[in-house]
Structure 1
Amino acid sequence: MIDQSTVQKIFDTAQIDEVVSDFVTLRKRGVNFLGLCPFHNEKTPSFTVSPAKGIYKCFGCGKGGNSVNFVMEHEHLDYVGALKYLGKKYHIDIVDEELSPEQEQRKNDRESMMIVNSFAQKYFSEKLLQSEEGMAVGMSYLRERGFREDIIKKFQLGFCLDSWNAFSEQAIQSGYKKQFLVQTGLSIDKEKGLIDRFKGRVLFPIHGIAGRTLGFGGRILKKDPKAAKYLNSPESEVYHKSRILYGIYQAKKSMVQNDKCYLVEGYTDVLSFHQAGIENVVASSGTALTADQIRLVKRFTNNMTIIYDGDPAGIKASLRGIDLVLEQELNVKVLLLPEGEDPDSFSRTMGATELSQYIEKNETDFIVFKTNLLLADAKNDPVKRANLIIDIVRSIAIIPDNIIRSVYVKECSSILNVDERVLYTEINKIKGRLQEEAWKNEQRSNIELQAQEDSIVNQSIIRADNDCDLEERALIRLLLNFGKEELFHNQNEQGEGESILVGNYIVDELERDELGSVNESYQRVFDEYTSNKFNPDFEAKTFFRDHTDSKIVQLAADIMSEPHQLSGMWTRNDSYIESEEMKLKEIVPKLVNEYKGKKVKLLIEEVVKEMQQVQESGDTDRLMELMKQKMVLDQIKNAISKELGNRTVF
């Protein structure tokens, strides 16, 4: 584990808006920043970053936390890995120490999934190269496709036997846990036991940047109209299809050396290019490009050439997705292969030098390619031509760099035979509409966010597993926001004063009456606040915001994102209370008593329920005992009601 002073230095240095802006485009909104959430698909921004509080919070999917927690979520790192990431970013030297049990467990679970994937890769490769079925079926297919054995071994290809559970049984016998076999998607848990997800398929291991196996793609070899031709590992803690590119590990060195990346569609396209001697190639595995995949390429080069086969319909369908690449400021070129060819087949017809020269000679700037493609389709139709101009201008308008944009305007002006001023006029119109749309979205988002913020406390009441969730959450909010505020100032007979703080009062009251939460995270907050209440350097808000437990971080971020105005829970008989800060002496004891009252009410309900059961059984001794318990609880209930102003409010 990293020593605490270094951890604190990282937290103090890593500004949340700086960290998040490496991955999310943020716009200023008052004292906060707003952007599109990177953890779920959304068109209207609901992702808020608060530099003052040091947190991020998405009001769409609910995720929230600090800068370290964000890196953990976004980059799929454990706690220590995220600290190392930020330490490197801010040039902070890190020395590892021993991990805590919780951190060790989380790290071990993720590591176990990686180890299971590694075992599976070796098992599948062995079956391909050494088993009778693997050689007869899997290797025959790969050799038929023309792949050399060195390429097969380079990409660690494999074969899963056409048996319901041969792999799963071998994995269990080898000591691997069912839990991780299922979590990685290698095995499917059925009533009769585990079955192999990839049975009867050739396997293409999908590696991360560091070369570790994250998941698999499997191609079926027998004809089965009900089965998908290709099957991928499901999303898991270690594998996210939209965040990885097939072949990135084998390509990254060549991408840097050549300052270029070739993007193809499938696994075999990548293999064929490598076999031809070109290694700076990756595949999107048949999915539309995502921002995460583009950023992955951008880590190694700013130049991308997308290679298409000769299917015009497929090309036109994918054009809109490439605009995303332009937004990420990559230099994009397109290569259209001869009709009837795909990257796999075409690369087999020539060597590395010849293939590289062909690509260099025939690749075209994306905007020019798109213009010529659509122009051929428009022909002499004036309406289609007008729509073409609008379509092209829309792509040019999203390019962030002014110089690159002006170059494309000049080229397209020449190709389309349209005055540059006309194109600039259209670009300005589109940019204006985009800005107006962004402004409207921001306004709508502001309204939606405010509504979501106002309802957060009320929404929490639906948590069925904790009848006191609302009260406990409110107590924690007071601990975080006002724990060090003075609640009372008592004087003894000698005239010596004692200051009673909000936080100490709350945890002391809970401890005195032995009150606890069924929510583990809530109870941990109460316990750790109690342990630190006499520590003069203890700041609850930063302590729990920067906690090592991601559940505690999420809880702190949620509560810190809630509005400071009181909800309807505190407005009785239409009496409005301006703010918590102004009414702490009233709010804190009232909340503690309401919480106690709720607990008593629940105990009474349990006693009454048991009394009904005992009456039916005829156990008079137990019935008398329960009646005494209820009498005591009723007295406590009445006493609390008096404290709350002679009103039963629970």
Structure 2
Amino acid sequence: MIHKATIDAVFETARLEEVIGDFVQLKKSGSNFKGLSPFSDERTPSFMVSPVKQIWKDFSSGKGGNVVAFLMEHEHFTYPEAIKYLAKKYNIEIEETQQTDEQKEQANERESMYLVSEYANTFFQNSLHKTEQGKAIGLTYYKERGFTDATIKKFNLGYSPDTWDALTSQAIRKGYQLKFLESTGLAIVKDNKQFDRFKGRVMFPIQSMSGRVLGFGGRILTNDKKAAKYLNSPESDIYHKSKVLYGIYHAKQTIAKEDNCYLVEGYTDVIQLYQSGITNVVSSSGTALTSDQIRLINRLTKNITVLFDGDAAGMRASIRGIDLILEQGMNVKVCTFPDGEDPDSFARKNTLEDIQQYLKENTQDFIRFKASILQEDTQNDPIKKAEVVRDMVASISKIPDVIKREIYVQECSRIMDISEEVLFNALAQLRGAAEQKTTSKKGDSAGGSMQVVKPEVKEKTKVNQQYELERKVIEILLLYGSKEEEFEDLILKENEAGELVMEPEVYTSKVFEKIFLDLQDDEIEFTQENFRKTYSVLIDHLNQVDDFQIDTFINTIPPEITPEITEIIMNEERYALARWIDQEIHVKQKLHSVSQYVSDIILNLRRFLIEQKIAELSQTIKESEEQTQNHEIMQDIIDYIGLRKMLSQKLNRVI
């Protein structure tokens, strides 16, 4: 268990915008930050971070919470893991009690897989640095590649001993279960025997954006033609190669800062460039680039520069990746190295200044790159040239932005010496065909004649008034609960003529005290369980503190009610996402009339409950045959109607 003092220190020190900024590219938006949702595929920002309140809200997925909640959602950390991650980031010493064997057993399977992977990572590093075989074979290989000690340590490079079960047997002796060694792919179990998957290989740990070890890549050092040169961990619950980029953990901050990401092919390409000083570089780890990998980069920057080897065949095979990048609405440039060179070898032979100069002079737009690659095959053949043009237009058609498409059409026209009109027609055909595939074919008939399809009439969603009113009460408590306001209540009093009249009575009270006493007087209880829990926690908290701070309160609430609370808190910030003020749409702020707002919500809740009671009693009369009982119920209904009329007067409504 982590001591409360450590948890408190973490919450006091951690800055939400800094932590989330490691995973998502954030841009200033008034007093807040906004960015693309890390939980869904979107092109318009719906993700908001409030540095003042230390909370975040993702309006596209509905998720939200504090800094720990973000790490638990995004990185699938447990609560203790999130606290440890933050403690490490901010150099806070962790005080905790020793876990018992029983507590270790209670860790879920996914967490056990992470623990086994972390253990294997340590084992491979120790094997590299502390065994004769590791030093003679593994360390020698890394040194021959030109990696420094600092780089080897930075990327946690290791070595798997050239024996059948070195890792497996030692892990089992340490208490790790064979089933998790097998499920992570570290061990292979066959015919009641187990052996190491990565026997005799130098090891490259593959880390998530937060630095957790998800899997491994291993390179064989012998000339065994039957064995694969590179071997990756198999797919598992924690490792999905199509969703991971090698080097993203080390590159994320520079990618966001430089607003550009260099994309290469292999592990050593990443490491060598990083060592040279190009630190905003990642790799697809030898697999074909996927949409998920591109979206991972998209959270940090809109700009990708793809670095290709000098091998022409390899470049042609990788052109598909460019189209995928364009589909995500990103800007893509390309740089190719001289024949026989790759990013690894080029970085080894040149200084940082030389590499930067080369990248600056040789990086080109994807249209120019594609034209140069494809034109080599045309050999002045008009048919082949037409195919090249069609291929280039197909790439342009992937771009979502209409202005960018037009600019690229103009560029393609100039490069290929073909009219813009022809290119625009071809583009329209391609985009029309693509859109037609996604359109329903219900209007098609056997004769091909047009049919009028009646639009579906959507049933209007009925508003749950009680839910909305209860939600408003929670909102008021969160935003204005500790604020002291002047309230005016209308009290029934007897005048000189002996008549009952409504007279105003003014008094000062804290907002939460006013709400609590009004709801208690009417014996009103929340029907929504989450609101009931939140109300109880809120009232207790407001009673105990003089200065209510949302960032402190949010750390005390149960995780299941966090998304609802953050949505309530951040709801008004949502206007900033749509830039309403820029469009001269001004939203009225409640701060100028808090007391009136509070009174109206409470009165509306009372009135709603009275109307519910009237409807309930009316239904009882319909179903009852007892005249005496009906007479009593009718009197109750009349009393409730009178009460409703009084509330309507307070709300300035005419019945």
TM-score by length of 1: 0.54
Aligned to 2:323: 323
For residue 353 of structure 1, report the CA deviation from its aligned partner.
Answer: 2.0
Q: Is the alpha carbon distance of 1:302 and 1:104 closer, same or farther for their aligned partners in structure 2, counting shifts above 3 Å? A: farther
Aligned to 1:207: 207
Q: Deviations over 1:76-95 (max 9, x none)?
A: 737979x99xxxxxxxxxxx
Where does 1:311-350 land on structure 2 (aligned, <5 Å)? 311-350=311-350
Aligned to 2:76: 77
Question: Would the aligned equivalents of 1:215 and 1:239 in 2 still touch at CA under 8 Å?
Answer: yes
For residue 370 of structure 1, report the CA deviation from its aligned partner.
Answer: 0.4
Q: Tell me: higher relative CO, structure 1 or 2? Use CA pairs within 8 A at least 6 residues apart.
A: 2
Q: Output the CA distance in 1 between the equivalents of 2:107 and 2:294.
A: 28
Q: Is the alpha carbon distance of 1:412 and 1:442 closer, same or farther for their aligned partners in structure 2, counting shifts above 3 Å? A: farther
Q: Is the alpha carbon distance of 1:441 and 1:301 closer, same or farther for their aligned partners in structure 2, counting shifts above 3 Å? A: farther
Q: Output the CA distance in 1 between the equivalents of 2:171 and 2:443.
A: 54
Question: Would the aligned equivalents of 1:397 and 1:430 in 2 still touch at CA under 8 Å?
Answer: yes
Q: Is the alpha carbon distance of 1:117 and 1:332 closer, same or farther for their aligned partners in structure 2, counting shifts above 3 Å? A: same
Where does 1:30-429 land on structure 2 (aligned, <5 Å)? 77=76, 108-429=108-429
Q: Output the CA distance in 2 between the equivalents of 1:107 and 1:243.
A: 25
Q: Is the alpha carbon distance of 1:178 and 1:21 closer, same or farther for their aligned partners in structure 2, counting shifts above 3 Å? A: closer
Aligned to 1:23: 40
Amino acid at match of 2:439: W
Q: Output the CA distance in 2 between the equivalents of 1:398 and 1:436.
A: 15
Q: Output the CA distance in 1 between the equivalents of 2:146 and 2:335.
A: 24
Q: Deviations over 1:15-37 (max 9, x none)?
A: xxxx99963479xxxxxxxxxxx
Q: Output the CA distance in 1 between the equivalents of 2:192 and 2:308.
A: 45
Question: Would the aligned equivalents of 1:20 and 1:67 in 2 still touch at CA under 8 Å?
Answer: no
Where does 1:576-591 land on structure 2 (aligned, <5 Å)? none
For residue 436 of structure 1, report the CA deviation from its aligned partner.
Answer: 1.0
Q: Is the alpha carbon distance of 1:107 and 1:291 closer, same or farther for their aligned partners in structure 2, counting shifts above 3 Å? A: farther
For residue 108 of structure 1, report the CA deviation from its aligned partner.
Answer: 3.5
Q: Is the alpha carbon distance of 1:22 and 1:197 closer, same or farther for their aligned partners in structure 2, counting shifts above 3 Å? A: closer
Amino acid at match of 1:342: D
Amino acid at match of 2:393: V
Q: Deviations over 1:55-104 (max 9, x none)?
A: 99xxxxxxxxx989xx99996737979x99xxxxxxxxxxxxxxxxxx99
Find the residue that maps to 2:188 and give its secondary structure. Answer: strand
Q: Is the alpha carbon distance of 1:441 and 1:72 closer, same or farther for their aligned partners in structure 2, counting shifts above 3 Å? A: farther
Q: Deviations over 1:96-133 (max 9, x none)?
A: xxxxxxx9988633222212111111110111112010
Q: Output the CA distance in 2 between the equivalents of 1:124 and 1:151.
A: 16
Aligned to 2:16: none
Q: Deviations over 1:126-179 (max 9, x none)?
A: 111120101111112112222211111110100010111111111111121222
Q: Output the CA distance in 2 between the equivalents of 1:416 and 1:312.
A: 20
Where does 1:430-441 land on structure 2 (aligned, <5 Å)? 430-439=430-439
Find the residue that maps to 1:245 and give its secondary structure. Answer: coil
For residue 376 of structure 1, report the CA deviation from its aligned partner.
Answer: 2.7
Q: Is the alpha carbon distance of 1:264 and 1:536 closer, same or farther for their aligned partners in structure 2, counting shifts above 3 Å? A: closer
Q: Output the CA distance in 2 between the equivalents of 1:439 and 1:76.
A: 37
Q: Is the alpha carbon distance of 1:391 and 1:72 closer, same or farther for their aligned partners in structure 2, counting shifts above 3 Å? A: farther
Q: Is the alpha carbon distance of 1:104 and 1:291 closer, same or farther for their aligned partners in structure 2, counting shifts above 3 Å? A: farther
Q: Is the alpha carbon distance of 1:218 and 1:79 closer, same or farther for their aligned partners in structure 2, counting shifts above 3 Å? A: closer
Aligned to 1:492: none
- Percent identical residues: 48
Amino acid at match of 1:379: Q
Amino acid at match of 1:293: Q
For residue 315 of structure 1, report the CA deviation from its aligned partner.
Answer: 1.1
Q: Output the CA distance in 2 between the equivalents of 1:170 and 1:415.
A: 62
Q: Deviations over 1:297-347 (max 9, x none)?
A: 111111111111111111112212320100111110111110111111011
Gaps of 5+ in 2: 1-35, 44-59, 65-69, 84-102, 445-524, 530-558, 561-655
Aligned to 2:460: none
Where does 1:514-525 land on structure 2 (aligned, <5 Å)? none
Q: Output the CA distance in 1 between the equivalents of 2:154 and 2:258.
A: 20
Q: Is the alpha carbon distance of 1:22 and 1:152 closer, same or farther for their aligned partners in structure 2, counting shifts above 3 Å? A: closer
Aligned positions, number: 389
For residue 416 of structure 1, report the CA deviation from its aligned partner.
Answer: 0.7
Find the residue that maps to 2:412 and give its secondary structure. Answer: helix
Q: Is the alpha carbon distance of 1:201 and 1:443 closer, same or farther for their aligned partners in structure 2, counting shifts above 3 Å? A: farther
Amino acid at match of 1:188: I
Q: Output the CA distance in 1 between the equivalents of 2:173 and 2:78.
A: 32
Find the residue that maps to 2:387 and give its secondary structure. Answer: helix
Question: Would the aligned equivalents of 1:76 and 1:237 in 2 still touch at CA under 8 Å?
Answer: no
Q: Deviations over 1:331-369 (max 9, x none)?
A: 101111101111110111211122112101101111221
Q: Output the CA distance in 2 between the equivalents of 1:176 and 1:261.
A: 38
Q: Output the CA distance in 2 between the equivalents of 1:406 and 1:207.
A: 40
Amino acid at match of 2:432: G
For residue 244 of structure 1, report the CA deviation from its aligned partner.
Answer: 0.7
Q: Deviations over 1:459-498 (max 9, x none)?
A: xxxxxxxxxxxxxxxxxxxxxxxxxxxxxxxxxxxxxxxx
Find the residue that maps to 1:368 and give its secondary structure. Answer: helix
Q: Output the CA distance in 1 between the equivalents of 2:204 and 2:441.
A: 42
Q: Is the alpha carbon distance of 1:24 and 1:146 closer, same or farther for their aligned partners in structure 2, counting shifts above 3 Å? A: closer
Q: Is the alpha carbon distance of 1:442 and 1:179 closer, same or farther for their aligned partners in structure 2, counting shifts above 3 Å? A: farther
For residue 193 of structure 1, report the CA deviation from its aligned partner.
Answer: 3.0
Question: Would the aligned equivalents of 1:113 and 1:184 in 2 still touch at CA under 8 Å?
Answer: yes
Gaps of 5+ in 1: 1-18, 27-54, 57-65, 85-102, 445-534, 540-546, 549-650
Q: Is the alpha carbon distance of 1:121 and 1:78 closer, same or farther for their aligned partners in structure 2, counting shifts above 3 Å? A: closer
Q: Output the CA distance in 1 between the equivalents of 2:427 and 2:346.
A: 38
For residue 236 of structure 1, report the CA deviation from its aligned partner.
Answer: 1.3
Find the residue that maps to 1:285 and give its secondary structure. Answer: coil
- Where has structure 1 moved over 6 Å in runs of 4 or more? 71-74, 78-81, 103-106, 441-444
Q: Output the CA distance in 1 between the equivalents of 2:247 and 2:38.
A: 27
Find the residue that maps to 1:348 and give its secondary structure. Answer: helix
Q: Is the alpha carbon distance of 1:156 and 1:116 closer, same or farther for their aligned partners in structure 2, counting shifts above 3 Å? A: same
Question: Would the aligned equivalents of 1:208 and 1:249 in 2 still touch at CA under 8 Å?
Answer: yes
For residue 429 of structure 1, report the CA deviation from its aligned partner.
Answer: 1.0
For residue 538 of structure 1, report the CA deviation from its aligned partner.
Answer: 8.7
Question: Would the aligned equivalents of 2:125 and 2:158 in 1 still touch at CA under 8 Å?
Answer: yes
Q: Output the CA distance in 2 between the equivalents of 1:144 and 1:441.
A: 62
Q: Is the alpha carbon distance of 1:130 and 1:442 closer, same or farther for their aligned partners in structure 2, counting shifts above 3 Å? A: farther
Q: Output the CA distance in 1 between the equivalents of 2:271 and 2:77.
A: 32
Question: Would the aligned equivalents of 1:159 and 1:200 in 2 still touch at CA under 8 Å?
Answer: yes
Q: Is the alpha carbon distance of 1:364 and 1:74 closer, same or farther for their aligned partners in structure 2, counting shifts above 3 Å? A: farther
For residue 422 of structure 1, report the CA deviation from its aligned partner.
Answer: 1.3
Q: Output the CA distance in 2 between the equivalents of 1:79 and 1:24.
A: 25
Q: Output the CA distance in 1 between the equivalents of 2:104 and 2:192.
A: 33
Q: Output the CA distance in 2 between the equivalents of 1:118 and 1:220.
A: 22
Find the residue that maps to 2:198 and give its secondary structure. Answer: coil
TM-score by length of 2: 0.54
